[in-house]
Structure 1
Amino acid sequence: MTDKEYSGSCHCGEVQFKILTDFPELTTCDCSICVRKNALMVKVHESKFTLIKGENFLTEYQFHTKTARHYFCKKCGIYPFHRKRVTPDYFGINVYCLDNFSPEGIRVRATIGAGMA
């Protein structure tokens, strides 16, 4: 399968980005923040992620080891993506923020984040 370009944004549209991916899988996570966000994510290398606009609308939240960097739109509060803790050169993209995308038919893997020390 070949990478395809997808556009995404927060709810209000102030934060816009694009990614390249072939969607090998989607993931959920059981850590304290991911459970509350209820996001479905795809892992994308930083070289396949482009922030088009809205850097000034992003706010960052960190907790625990302060390695992962969770980003939210300051205006609408939506979580579009985060920098991953274990692989910080990758982004976890909230696929529900992608335009014209359906996760139907893509394998979903549950990741264990709650027990990470």
Structure 2
Amino acid sequence: MTDLDTRPLHTGACHCGAVRFSVRLSDGLNSARRCNCSFCRMRGAVAVSAALADLQVEQGEALLTLYQFNTGEAKHWFCSRCGIYTFHRQRSSPDQYGINVACLEGMSPFDFERVPVSQGIDHPKDRADGQSQVAGWLRYEPVP
């Protein structure tokens, strides 16, 4: 992160507060998405993107637990105390992290009316054309 960067600096934390981080998002909230791969279906988080250099763990780095599966290319970090997924290094874009929106201060996955769901079952790196596909949309409609 540079001092001249005008993008907002967001602070984030796991549920128990043991892991704290700061991040500048690559494209603000415009990158919000979900995925339908086996892991993301169970995790259920909305993620936004940040360059690797734009995330700084401020506290609790030793408490982060790494989970990898299948190709092992994506790296998912969780708080070892409360179990909350904080961020992951993306398989589709290894130069970026996916940040759990629910961990960002003042944000919620329910702030988004509509979130695209990526076709993770058929991952772009496994496709001949290498293209990401939208599998559908996740919608949130609050009760009036």
The question of a shared fold, defined as TM-score above 0.5 by the shorter chain, is answered with yes
- The alignment status of 1:23 with 2:29, answered yes or no, reads yes
Partner of 1:68: 74
> Deviations along 1:53-105, whole A, 9 cap, x unmatched?
11110110100000000111111100011000021110000000111124535
Relative to its length, the structure with more strand (as a share) is 1
- The alignment status of 1:113 with 2:117, answered yes or no, reads no
Rounded to whole Å, the distance in 2 between the matches of 1:25 and 1:46 is 15
Rounded to whole Å, the distance in 2 between the matches of 1:19 and 1:52 is 10
What does 1:16-95 correspond to in 2, within 5 Å? 16-21=20-25, 22-95=28-101
Q: Is the partner of 2:62 in helix, strand or coil? A: helix
C-alpha distance 78-27 of structure 1, shift in aligned 2 (>3 A): same
Q: Is the partner of 2:85 in helix, strand or coil? A: coil
Tell me whether 95-104 or 76-85 shows the greater mean CA deviation.
95-104
Aligned amino acid, residue 29 of structure 1: C
- RMSD over aligned CA atoms reads 1.6
Question: Which 4+ runs in 1 deviate beyond 3 A?
Answer: none
Which of the pair has the greater relative contact order for Cα pairs under 8 Å at 6+ separation? 1
Bigger-Rg structure (1/2): 2
Structure 2, gaps ≥5 residues long: 1-5, 127-144
Aligned amino acid, residue 41 of structure 2: V
Contact map agreement 1:8 1:97 (CA 8 A) in 2: yes
Identity of aligned residues (%): 41
Partner of 1:10: 14
Rounded to whole Å, the distance in 1 between the matches of 2:45 and 2:95 is 20
Structure 1, gaps ≥5 residues long: none
- The alignment status of 1:97 with 2:103, answered yes or no, reads yes
Q: Is the partner of 2:39 in helix, strand or coil? A: helix
* TM-score (normalizing by structure 2): 0.74
